């Protein structure tokens, strides 16, 4: 039995299988899931689990090279954006329209759905390499 880190077996498997530039999405409760993209649904109720908790856990376990966010978060959810900046440290962030963001999710290995219920609380994480 695994004793620390992410215990969810589906997430642990996805992280172990990632290669350089592969992408995963952490989504709020409302982001549409494209056909053909795997979904790991963690949502228990609105705001549970929160987006920031899942992002923080993934950043501990995954080598993240960069991330993509919807441009709209910069005006519509400043508190969430501040939290993302704090967690991402100096990793590059790219902003695209929400429509372009949804298109990009079609390329993700998986979308992890949270219970987050604040606008534009979604992020695409791009895997880096550890060497």
Q: Using CA of residue 68, residue 5, residue 11, residue 115, what is the dihedral sign?
A: negative
Q: Does the annotation list 28 as a binding residue?
A: yes
Residue 122 annotated as binding? yes
- The set of residues, in sequence order, having a beta carbon less than 8 Å from that of 65 and lying 6+ positions away, is 20, 21, 91, 92, 126, 127, 128, 129
Q: Is 20 in the active site? A: yes
CA distance 16 to 59: 14
Q: Does 120 belong to an annotated binding site?
A: yes
CB-based contact 22:126 (threshold 8 Å): yes
Handedness of CA 87, 70, 77, 32 (dihedral sign): negative
Catalytic residue among 7, 17, 20, 86: 20
**Which positions are annotated as active-site residues?**
20
Positions at the binding site: 28, 98, 120-122
Q: Which residues are annotated as a binding site for substrate?
A: 28, 98, 120-122
């Amino acid at each position: 039995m695994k004793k620390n880190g992410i215990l969810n077996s589906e997430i642990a498997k996805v992280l172990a299988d990632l290669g350089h530039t592969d992408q995963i999405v952490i989504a709020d409760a409302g982001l549409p899931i494209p056909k053909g993209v795997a979904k790991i649904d963690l949502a228990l109720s609105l705001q549970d689990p929160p987006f920031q908790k899942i992002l923080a856990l993934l950043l501990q376990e995954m080598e993240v090279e960069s991330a993509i966010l919807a441009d709209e978060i910069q005006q519509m959810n400043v508190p969430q954006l501040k939290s993302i900046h704090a967690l991402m440290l100096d990793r590059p962030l790219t902003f695209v329209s929400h429509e372009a963001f949804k298109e990009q999710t079609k390329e993700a290995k998986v979308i992890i759905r949270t219970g987050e219920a604040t606008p534009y609380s979604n992020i695409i994480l791009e895997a880096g390499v550890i060497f």
